[in-house]
A = this chain, B = another copy of it.
Amino acid sequence: MKTPLPVSQAMLACAILLAAQHGSAFAQDDTQSIARAGSQPQATGPAANFSGQVKVDPLWPKNGQINASGAYVTFAPGARSAWHVHPSGQRLVVTAGSGLTQEWGKPVQQLRVGDVVWCPPGVKHWHGAAPDAQMTHLAVTGMATGKGVEWMEKVSDDQYHGR
């Protein structure tokens, strides 16, 4: 018997499924389509993969032309992803607030609005909000290999604070 998904992961899967269904106009390739602001359900970042409150607003799925999905991710102050790698890389554009990121074995770096991050395939890292400010980034996640992210262990408080 398979272990049921935690509620938060089930909700995320559901939200992504709903978004994919809502965005079915995106599947039509003979006409321009518009997904209106607020029409694609927001999901909560699962507690297994994030520390603190993280919200995911899906923007578009990968398709036959563009091999990457898009989403806004908003981290509450102090919230961050777990350590992870992207099998096909990821672009981030910081759109609001102030954040932090770290590559395994390197110092924590600050992120500010307008900064653009390239996370190459297989490079272990995390990203999140600054301790006292929230942060939103638009994430464009490579899906060429079919899987956008491989999750690892949580980022400890000592790692987060660069201690």
Contact between A91 and B28 (Cβ–Cβ < 8 Å)? no
The answer to the question of A54 belonging to the interface, with a C-beta cut-off of 8 Å to chain B, is no
**Are the CB atoms of A123 and B65 closer together than 8 Å?**
no
- Which listed segment binds B: A9-17, A44-52, A75-83, A111-119? A111-119
Residues of A within 8 A of B (CB): 25-26, 28-38, 40, 59-60, 63, 65-68, 70, 88-89, 91, 93-95, 101, 103, 106, 109, 111-121, 123, 125, 138, 140, 142, 144
Inter-chain contact B118/A89, CB cutoff 8 Å:
no
Contact partners of A125 in chain B: CB under 8 A: 32
A143: nearest chain-B partner, CB-CB = B66
